Structure formats: C-alpha cells, structure tokens
Amino acid sequence: MSHSRRQFLSLVPKVALAGAALSQLGGCGGGYNVDGSVTLASGKATLLFTQFPKLATAGGGAIVGLDNGSAIAVVRTSDTEATATSAVCTHEGCYVEFQSVSAGFSCPCHGATYTSAGVVTKGPARENLASYTAALTATGIVVTVS
C-alpha cells in the first residue's frame, strides 16, 4: 500500500463520521437533527434558499448547524420577514424542532415548547431561546449570530 493510499484510507472513517455528525449531532433519539449546516463568516450565517428551500417561502423553518458546534432555528414568518433564534433548548441542550410559524418549536427530549420567536410556552425549559437578527436577501437569509 502506498503512503498516499494509506493516508486516503485513514481519512475515510473521519469524513464519514463528520458527515454523520453534521446531519445528526449527538444522535440521542433525534435530539440533534439539523436540516443542513453552514460556516460562519464574521459572525454571520448565510442560508441560501438553494440549500434551505424550506426558507424560500413564508411558513417554512429550518434548524441549521453551525461550524462552531452550535445551531440556529430560522423561520420565514412572512414574505418579507424572518426570525432566528438559538436552536439549543435551554433545558438540557437538545436541538428544538420546527413545527409551524403558529406552533413554534418543540423539544424532542423532554417536551418543552417555544414560540417561533423563541419564547418558552411549556417547560421543563424555563428560559427563552437566544434571539438573533435575521435579514432577508434576494437569495437567502443572513443571520447575525455574534
């Protein structure tokens, strides 16, 4: 086996694991599912409609993994507006799941619920999700995370 082939083969499991981690971070019973992942640039996450088609029309929502290990929840609340919050449940850190603009988010781990704006509507979570600025563009939604 050549050196380069050995190097390639040693990378395969890592690449496979990275892909699995991005699609289901943690993997404990669905508490960490994401619709896709993006890389932050200067504290901003750019969610293109081509990558997140659910956000292209009013009523859609997506859970988006970030390269800093966290995740955001983004909702297209109308033709002209979007909201963004942390997707990390304030109870014990599972990722929330989007239900609808009116029903908001639910947490698959212990049943907490939040509005689309991240306000707790049912425990055991006690604190609201952190909110971020979301700006619609012609091609996507830009979320300022930090």
- Site track for ligand FES across 73-92, x = CB under 6 A: ----------------x-xx
Whether omega for the bond prior to residue 124 falls within 30 degrees of 0, making it cis, is: yes
Nearest to ligand FES of 44, 91 (CB atom): 91
Tell me the closest approach of the beta carbon of residue 48 to ligand FES, in angstroms: 29
Q: Which of 6, 63, 4 is nearest to 38 (CA)?
A: 63
- Site track for ligand FES across 5-34, x = CB under 6 A: ------------------------------
Residues contacting ligand FES: total by CB under 6 A: 12
Tokens 């409609």 identify what position?
Answer: 49
Residue 103 to residue 101: CA distance in whole angstroms: 6
Please pick, from the candidates 63, 66, 107, 143, the single residue that binds ligand FES as defined by CB under 6 A.
107
Q: At a CB cut-off of 8 Å and minimum separation 6, what does 55 contact?
A: 47, 49, 61, 62, 74, 76, 82, 140, 141
Contact status: 124 vs ligand FES (CB under 6 A): yes
Residue 134 to residue 54: CA distance in whole angstroms: 15
Please pick, from the candidates 94, 120, 142, 143, the single residue that binds ligand FES as defined by CB under 6 A.
94
Contact status: 109 vs ligand FES (CB under 6 A): yes
Q: Which of 76, 93, 99, 102 is nearest to 127 (CA)?
A: 93
Nearest to ligand FES of 105, 141 (CB atom): 105
